[in-house]
Chain A
């Protein structure tokens, strides 16, 4: 079960949902509940804009708790769209670099003790121009 509706779609392919302002063209994430924004799918690949490692369990609530292991978070620059904040997954912390290619995936947050939910995340991608 996703952490929220209208955050991402998995069919026919995984995409984050954003909003494009109908008059200004500004793109935002998440998709606002506002008729002034048109629903769009965001590019699934980009480059890491910045990152950090969360070494201490965030306060719960609002964090969806469960057993804590340090995790990576970052901002990923999606060309032509915007820079999106995200959990980072499937990467050794010491490999993280500003500018590295990233791609959209999903991950579970929380565990059986609190109920796992599916969220979006980014993971390292093959460099642009090579086959995914």
Chain B
């Protein structure tokens, strides 16, 4: 089994780009990643990629070249990027290939995501009475967590404030303006306790990574960033997920907790060894809960962590250093790979105004998607 290295990265700016399709943003990201690696499309031995709503990734061969490479389309909600990396790194690790690309992209209109009960195996009444609303799930998971573990609304606001401050320093981010705590706390409530600025918005963007075997990475002189773990897990019994008319009394853990443990076990390190992390922040509370679900702190400690600024760029464990989904928006297919892109930038030391002070060795990323799939990736330099 060979190690996997990331030898090239490319991103199409997140946000809104008129007159450029999601597919074109994916193509843009792949060309940027190839250029970064000093490689050509014809060097690629495989591709894994996908979008949730912007078309079939494999049709990109029309623009990039019909080299006959295997191109696997991936569709795993917000975890699509993590799933693509899971597939691509597996192809290299098992020795089938030593150079390939993973890509994720999307393009959602304003106010996208209007799920229908029948597409989720639910009866029509569930939607008719007003329960078919994704944001309710996030708010209710968070409300209970806040009550059980003493998390305040101020802490939710601190997460959003940090996101916009970091986004202002990240060229690929969508929201580039800092926002103060008052503006975040006093914004209109969407689903209590979450205000408008505590939720990410559907957006656009594309990201591509070039993966290589150890032998190929050495040949290219690109052995700086190694993938030490990629884990992907679906929901265990008793996890709390979106669109659940009922829950078992006996509660269980989340897909995130299981994926995280598996990643740390594979990498042979623990949460304390991580120097920076990108965690799924669909809303402010998700980042808070995912800090604990990924093992970085105990339940409730986030209140003190945020008050002390421990997750800011200059803190002990910087989290979502490019502003995460809150500042970059959520193009579902692209977000998971954006996190890995950001970690590579940071490990290379090319983060510019948002660079985390070094030395940096281990970087962690985590995605979570409906209805309960999670992927965790650990990079080392």
Chain A residues at the B interface, C-beta cutoff of 8 Å: 3-4, 7, 18, 26, 28-30, 49-56, 58-59, 61-64, 71, 73-75, 77, 80-85, 87, 93, 97-99, 109-110, 117, 119
Contact = CB atoms under 8 A, between A and B. Distances in A.
A75 B128 contact: no
B132 interface: yes
Given A64-B129, A85-B244, A109-B130, A59 B114 contact: yes
A5 B131 CA distance: 18
B246 A61 contact: no
Contacts of A109: 128-130
A4 B247 contact: no
B141 interface: yes
A117 B129 CA distance: 9
Interface in B121-161: 123-133, 136, 139-141, 143-144, 147-148
B245 A85 contact: yes
B94 interface: no
28 contacts: A3-B128, A7-B125, A26-B248, A49-B144, A51-B140, A51-B143, A52-B192, A52-B193, A53-B189, A53-B192, A54-B136, A56-B190, A58-B127, A58-B133, A59-B132, A64-B127, A75-B140, A83-B248, A83-B249, A85-B247, A87-B130, A87-B131, A97-B147, A98-B144, A98-B148, A99-B147, A110-B128, A119-B125
Residue of A3, A26, A77, A93 with highest tally of chain B CB at under 10 A = A3
A75 B125 CA distance: 17
A81 B244 CA distance: 15
Contacts of B139: 52
A52 B140 contact: yes
B188 interface: yes
Nearest to B133: A58
B144 A54 contact: no
Contacts of B191: 52-55
Contact of B247 (A53, A75, A93, A98): A75
A82 B246 contact: yes
Interface of B: 114, 116-117, 123-133, 136, 139-141, 143-144, 147-148, 188-193, 244-249
Nearest to A56: B190
A63 B144 contact: no
B349 to A, nearest CB: 42
Contacts of B123: 4, 30
B129 to A, nearest CB: 5
10 smallest CB-CB distances across A and B, nearest first, come from: A62-B127, A52-B139, A50-B144, A29-B246, A64-B128, A3-B125, A4-B125, A83-B247, A50-B140, A98-B147
Contacts of B132: 58-59, 62-63
A72 to B, nearest CB: 9
Contacts of A81: 249
A50 to B, nearest CB: 4
Contacts of B144: 49-50, 98
Contacts of B188: 55
Contacts of B133: 54, 58
Contacts of B117: 62
Contact of A55 (B114, B190, B246): B190
A73 B131 contact: yes
A58 B125 CA distance: 14
A80 B123 CA distance: 25
A71 to B, nearest CB: 7
B143 A73 contact: no
B146 to A, nearest CB: 9
Given A62-B117, A74-B140, A28 B128 contact: no
A118 to B, nearest CB: 10
A58 B246 CA distance: 20
A87 B246 contact: no
B367 to A, nearest CB: 24
Residue of B114, B130, B193 with highest tally of chain A CB at under 10 A = B130
Nearest to A16: B246
A81 B143 CA distance: 22
A61 B118 CA distance: 12
Given A63-B128, A71-B130, A119-B129, A30 B245 contact: yes
B271 to A, nearest CB: 27
A97 B192 CA distance: 12
A18 B148 CA distance: 28
B136 A52 contact: yes
A73 B140 CA distance: 9
